[in-house]
Structure 1
Amino acid sequence: MEFLDPSLLHKYEHNQCTPEEYERVLEWFSTPEGREYLDAAIMRELESEEPASLMPSSQAADLYQRILDTTGQEQLQHRRNRRFTGLKVAAMISGAILLAYGGWMFTGRQRSTIFHTAYGEVRTVVLPDQSVVTLNGNSTLRYAGTWDGDSQREVWVEGEAFFSIKPSAVPRSFLVHTASDMNVEVLGTSFNLVDRHGRMQVVLNSGKVRLHSSKTPEETVIMQPGDLVEYKEQVRIKVKKHANPQQYSSWKTNNLQFENVSFAELAQLLEDTYGVKVEIKDTSLLHQEFTGTIPGQQIDMLLSGLSQLFHLKVNHVGNSVIIEKQN
């Protein structure tokens, strides 16, 4: 029997695979051993007493049917029809079923391409229309299809990315979806986008973009170069102001420019981008603001620059960073 590395299945389930690793998992799902594994995993979840997660019944049933159709689980479908009511199936969309659904999404008619950067990594991606996306550390970019003909250009982003959009020869909008349910619609422009912790921020370098909410389409903002717009999901606060765009995209050139930034904001940036746990010993530093430029290619270089520029004691051991005032 052909087995697959369990750690690779774990990465697949948590959407952490590289495109090459996704291919390996999906190829294994097409083998008899992979189908047997998928069959058993789904049956275990269906037979459990507690549903793993809930969604509207019509959506769940449709999702389940597509999984069956695209994984060739005819025998499983027969047993499901015989042993379970539609309501229970609709209620029990589990991690294993979502695994299969991920396979359906990846191998469907419009193949998805996914890029994910490690902590501290900066990566440049050229899209099918020759637009360029630069991903900051701990960020994900996904797009579907080849964008042939007049198909819409759409990408999904989590984390931080800088976009340089190539104008289309034919009228085609470019749409960026975020986890915060705010969409960025552009027609040839460049901008920096951050989407983390329920906070979405866009800084426009050139061109024009339209922001609108998936939940409230009437909530629309037209941005001009130099505009900064920020949405905070929890309280739906919208902030719009004029900013220096280069400051917010300086990470692309391995520098970090700060202007009136608090140490609390810096600590969050370090954790999000470099994957460290930051502890600020002196709480009076949390709200203290600072301005300056620090090399940001490697975290140790960044911390050294931070220490020298602001006369701080910075201790970096393993995954922990401790910042305190010098005596």
Structure 2
Amino acid sequence: MQYIFLISVNTLAYKVLMTKKTYNSIHDFLNDDSFKNWAFNSQLSDVSFWDFWLKNNPLKRDIAYEARDILLGINFKKDTVGEEKLQVEWTKLEAKLKTVQKKEAKKKKGIFQNPSIMKFAVAASILLAISFGVLTYTGLNNALVTHETAFGETLNIKLPDGTEVALNSNSEITYHKNDVRNIWMKGEAFFKVNKLPSKEAKFFVNTKDLTVEVYGTEFNVNTRREKTKVYLDEGNIWLTLNNGNSKKMFPGDYIEYSSDEKKILIDKHIVSKEQHLSWTQGTLLFNNLTLHQALEKISDTYGVNFDFKVPTSKDIRITGAVPTSNLTICLNAIKKSANINIKKENGKLVVYKN
């Protein structure tokens, strides 16, 4: 049997509300009950609305997030050192340095009275300083940069080359500071690669299974469940598989590749992209999935594990969408739609058939 469920938001009421209110200060947000619900993830309609509102009012995000942090009690205490104490410690340090310098000068006085040795020492010092400067500069520019998310968290990133990356929950991208167009990733991410026609600069996304090679395009990469899944939304990309083969993809193409089996498991064309990109809009979409497949998506998003008391309940089919902002809301929607019950037992969520 297939179950269908939809969670909707009454945006009309909020549009009327917002036309009567202005949000220019932290207090404007703090005094709004619907904003408080969003901050505490306590009401689906408020959470969905404020996610939408913040997305469309980017200039007010910082104020809104600061108000949210105040409500949640998130404060960062900054310990400062007084100017007087700083001066005292600096004076002590200078005195120690002078003492050390005097001792070293006595030891080396005999050596540096020789002009030839003195010239050699100066030259060596200059060479050492230059070498150290070059190594330091190279090291700083070759430093690794990492962006990562926790379970239940997403992150939008703009890379130095202009590429936009949406990072799904429990995911990570890493790159060298001086090579921003060569990315290593795990988890799931959507890339909107900025094309640099004047340089013809390629962009690479590397996983344990394959490498995606592009110039400028939009695509989604998912490395969960021991395989890499790639969906191409716009443009063209090349996949270099770790079995030595390569594959060209066109818009709408979807591929699943397993490095363990060293082969492509799924290769098909998809008309509707929502199934693979809905998470970027804060939604998990279930299109005629089994209950087992749907709960796998929940596990990937929130880091929870499920057990089935009755194995046959894994095959119940469901279709619909749930927001990713709240685990409780997701589970309640699934319980009602599939006529099941979910209880927490010994650190796991156990599925019972009603």
Whether TM exceeds 0.5 here: the answer is yes
Correspondence for 1:55: none
Change (3 A) 1:319 1:160: farther
Correspondence for 1:261: 289
Larger radius of gyration: 2
Q: Secondary structure at the match of 1:166?
A: coil
Answer 1 or 2: which has greater helix percent.
2
Change (3 A) 1:107 1:261: farther
**One-letter amino acid of the structure 1 residue matched with residue 269 of structure 2:** H
Q: Secondary structure at the match of 1:268?
A: helix
State the aligned residue count.
Answer: 215
**One-letter amino acid of the structure 2 residue matched with residue 171 of structure 1:** E
In structure 2, the gaps of 5 or more residues are: 1-135
1:302 corresponds, among 330, 334, 340, to 330
Q: Percent identity?
A: 28
8 Å CA contact 2:214, 2:237 repeated in 1: yes
Change (3 A) 1:289 1:234: farther
Q: How much does 1:134 deviate?
A: 0.9
1:223 corresponds, among 216, 229, 249, to 249
Within a 5 Å distance, the mapping from 1:163-182 to structure 2 comes to 163-169=191-197, 170-180=199-209, 182=210
The CA distance in 1 between the partners of 2:347 and 2:331, in whole Å, is 13
Q: How much does 1:178 deviate?
A: 0.4
8 Å CA contact 1:134, 1:161 repeated in 2: yes
In structure 1, the gaps of 5 or more residues are: 1-103
Q: How much does 1:200 deviate?
A: 0.6
**One-letter amino acid of the structure 2 residue matched with residue 270 of structure 1:** I
Query: What are the superposed Cα offsets for residues 222-270 of structure 1, whole Å, 9 maximum, x if unpaired?
Result: 1111111001222223120122222111111111111232222233322
1:286 corresponds, among 302, 309, 314, to 314
Q: How much does 1:107 deviate?
A: 4.9
Q: Secondary structure at the match of 1:155?
A: strand
The CA distance in 2 between the partners of 1:198 and 1:158, in whole Å, is 11
TM-score normalized by structure 2?
Answer: 0.57
Within a 5 Å distance, the mapping from 1:80-95 to structure 2 comes to none
2:349 corresponds, among 313, 321, 325, to 321
The CA distance in 2 between the partners of 1:107 and 1:160, in whole Å, is 29
Note if 1:153 corresponds to 2:196.
no
Q: Specify which structure has the bigger relative contact order, considering alpha-carbon pairs within 8 angstroms and separated by 6 or more residues.
A: 2
Query: What are the superposed Cα offsets for residues 79-118 of structure 1, whole Å, 9 maximum, x if unpaired?
Result: xxxxxxxxxxxxxxxxxxxxxxxxx9x9564111101110
Q: Secondary structure at the match of 2:239?
A: strand
Change (3 A) 1:163 1:317: farther
Q: How much does 1:281 deviate?
A: 1.7
Within a 5 Å distance, the mapping from 1:105-116 to structure 2 comes to 107=139, 109-116=141-148
RMSD: 2.2
Q: How much does 1:271 deviate?
A: 2.4
Q: How much does 1:190 deviate?
A: 1.0
